[in-house]
Structure 1
């Protein structure tokens, strides 16, 4: 489903006939003013859509056949932004960002040329075993003090492979063991390894703290695997997950759930307030989900080449009905629950 069709679905139907309130209307209903950008702390970069997997929930529509890659020109400009601005965290995502031909050059550049404290790489784990040129990734990550955040749908094979493809669970376990070997996720180690849980269907994630305990118990008892934290992330109704909702006739019920579980407290810590997301072409968005809907920042200067990013403070954030996904229940962000 292309972007314009997705936006048409999200803006019309049950949201145009009065059955459900638009997200902007919901904010007014509970006396919350327009959501605005705060001080920038996180620079999230989607450096390409190529991936060695094709996951059913992927909001990026990533896969082996995607050719979109961030150019060296944009990569260099992003490095300049990190030098020119005080940025605490750089969050590198994809696709499988490790497949970008300049991935290692870029990571080394951040470490050597900027004052960025934390570099997050969102790794799908299986990339480590996909080709011999990736076998040394655990050591590369450790040498550059990378914070690894990896999706693992569940602690058993059936549910994981159903969402991410046959054989993914076994490969993920092997990759996690390789990361543990170099110190990731271990007690008294400063190498952080966090896992991400996305629901496998049209429902909200369970309690994050309780699920983390269960994941740690199962992964350690069955495989002797250790990790730091588990993030539960709500599936937003965009891209492949929106396709799934419509095909399975769950769209209206899922949106009703998100709206009914709207939590005003979640709006206080929305990641779009302290994050900007940069696409492979160099366009700037309030978050990675807006990027997938091509909802650029509220500024004419919306590229890394023209935008003064600290000048975005107090700018209104672009919202639509997918934003209910980040404000339902305990809230959701790329760092897990927020309320």
Structure 2
């Protein structure tokens, strides 16, 4: 039994499984109006972050081809979405990233580009920043901590300073400044086996520190707990924290958060064109609704009321204030 199979067995055999928790509260997790198309360009990344649920990193070969990107674009034209969300890995490292951004920018009113910042700040990618600006793409940037040693411990030596440099460049282009309409949002994740702290307080602290020390501004900050998947799960196992962390997530279940979870309004497409209810299910190999469907087989958006595939990592999105 390999690691992923062992994880499936462990999670499915727990007496407090996520599906049973939903049932106890009289809840069902089904699709609402699917308005967001998330496109995962692959696992190639310049970092090997300790919290990564996808095991992304250098040398990964799971990278979206131009053909698959074109197939997704063809589907999106016939099933219009309100938002297209480009993610990875590090999407900057996809060899067709410029073409992909230009193509998807014409297919939805809003385009989101998720960056780890250090990749955006390396390899002479100023042209990509200029393109994002010209198309008014929203940048969502991973920024783990305002403590340099903590950030580098989670994401790699030197990543904190590279991230600060990237944020300064984005600010210079007008990102994160309310008068420009160029939206720059940050995402912070805990650096250990902890639940995410209060989002409003975290945003206030980050805003004050970044502006005071580096003159950096941003629009919003989102603080999320880490999903017990991929590299983060392996760290939990090695450190003896897995069971306690899973229990912490399960104990924090908030039935009021179920209605707002991202999988109700989002569909995720992997680098090879297959559909998932969210990026976490992609990481776990749980296809959309439990059936493996390729984007070329889709006509229109996923229908309302379709069941969403779940496992106990779903507690991450329903603990406390939730994960939207």
Of the candidates 37, 54, 58, which is equivalent to residue 60 of structure 1?
54
SS of the residue aligned with 1:92? strand
Unaligned runs of 5+ residues in structure 2 are none
- Which residue of structure 2 lines up, in the alignment, with residue 275 of structure 1? 266
1:3–1:292 CA contact under 8 A, matched in 2: no
Of the candidates 94, 114, 118, which is equivalent to residue 110 of structure 2?
118
- Which residue of structure 1 lines up, in the alignment, with residue 132 of structure 2? 141
Query: Is the counterpart of residue 190 in structure 1 residue 200 in structure 2?
Result: no
Displacement after TM superposition at 1:27 (Å): 0.8
TM-score with structure 1 setting the length: 0.92
Displacement after TM superposition at 1:187 (Å): 2.7
Displacement after TM superposition at 1:158 (Å): 1.0
How far does the alpha carbon of each residue in 1:300-322 deviate from its partner, in whole angstroms, 9 at most, with x for none? 56110102342432111000111
Displacement after TM superposition at 1:4 (Å): 2.0
Matches within 5 A, 1:63-78: 63-78=57-72
Matches within 5 A, 1:201-240: 201-240=192-231
Unaligned runs of 5+ residues in structure 1 are 334-339
Cα distance in 1 for partners of 2:95, 2:263 equals 29
Displacement after TM superposition at 1:60 (Å): 1.1
2:98–2:128 CA contact under 8 A, matched in 1: no
- Which residue of structure 1 lines up, in the alignment, with residue 322 of structure 2? 331
Displacement after TM superposition at 1:137 (Å): 2.5
Of the candidates 137, 147, 171, which is equivalent to residue 180 of structure 1?
171
TM-score with structure 2 setting the length: 0.96
Cα distance in 2 for partners of 1:122, 1:9 equals 32
Cα distance in 2 for partners of 1:117, 1:278 equals 19
Displacement after TM superposition at 1:24 (Å): 0.9
Of the candidates 75, 84, 98, which is equivalent to residue 90 of structure 1?
84
Once superposed, what is the RMSD of the aligned Cα atoms?
1.3
Cα distance in 2 for partners of 1:168, 1:318 equals 35
Query: Is the counterpart of residue 80 in structure 1 residue 112 in structure 2?
Result: no
- Which residue of structure 2 lines up, in the alignment, with residue 337 of structure 1? none
SS of the residue aligned with 2:288? coil
Between 1:134-143 and 1:88-97, the stretch displaced more is 134-143
Displacement after TM superposition at 1:146 (Å): 0.9
Cα distance in 2 for partners of 1:158, 1:262 equals 31
- Which residue of structure 2 lines up, in the alignment, with residue 108 of structure 1? 102
Displacement after TM superposition at 1:140 (Å): 1.5
